[in-house]
Amino acid sequence: MKLFGEVVLAIVGIFALAFLLLTTSSRIHLPGFPSLYLVQSGSMEPTIKVADMVIVKTQSQYLKGDIITFYDSSHRVVTHRILSQEQDHFQTKGDANSTPDTSTISFSQIIGKVIFTLPKLGILVNLVHSSKGFIILIIVPAAIIIIDEFVKIFRHLSQRS
């Protein structure tokens, strides 16, 4: 039974760490490392759907047809496909959109190329960002770990007496 409890705590700890990484990776940009972004619109459907997460990595060059994540002129994060390139500017378009984006983007606005999509993982990330989800997925597991540690300390002190 003790081993089962330790395994459960290890699994809870791993999930808590994974959620921490998922929820902070789009806010922390480490050069050379991929970042995760949550897709919040259907502009790239059916290729990338709402609530999918995209893993994005900076590239030295971007080509026609690449799906990229970038900051638009309003500083929003957008994931669209490159339609064309003229010198330093790229014309982009969402796969589900009937027309290209209204303005082009420069190389400096590009965060990176989408290298992988994690279907529907954004549902869990949104849950973590909600107050109920934070309680269920962070506070409750943390409380279980803390209580377990207090029980271990109490047992250890009882055995010493």
Instruction: Kindly report, residue by residue over 1-11, the tens digit of the pLDDT.
Output: 677 777 777 78
46-64 pLDDT, tens per residue?
A: 999 999 999 999 999 999 9
Superfamily grouping for domain 31-129: Umud Fragment, subunit A (2.10.109.10)
Of the candidates 96, 112, 15, the residue with the CA atom closest to the CA atom of residue 54: 112
pLDDT average, residue stretch 152-160: 88
The pLDDT, as a whole number, for residue 20 is 64
Domain layout of the chain by residue ranges? 1-29+133-161, 31-129
Q: Show the tokens assigned to 146.
A: 């803390």
Q: Between the CA of residue 127 and those of 25, 35, 57, 149, what are the distances in Å?
A: 16, 19, 25, 27
Q: Where are the beta strands (DSSP E) in the chain?
A: 35-38, 53-57, 67-71, 77-86, 89-93, 105-106, 110-118
Q: How far is CA 95 from the centre of its chain?
A: 21
72-95 pLDDT, tens per residue?
A: 999 999 999 999 999 889 999 999
pLDDT at 31 > cutoff 80:
no
Q: Show the tokens assigned to 107.
A: 């190389």
Q: How far is CA 39 from the centre of its chain?
A: 9
pTM over 0.85: no
Residue listed under structure tokens 């597991």 = 141
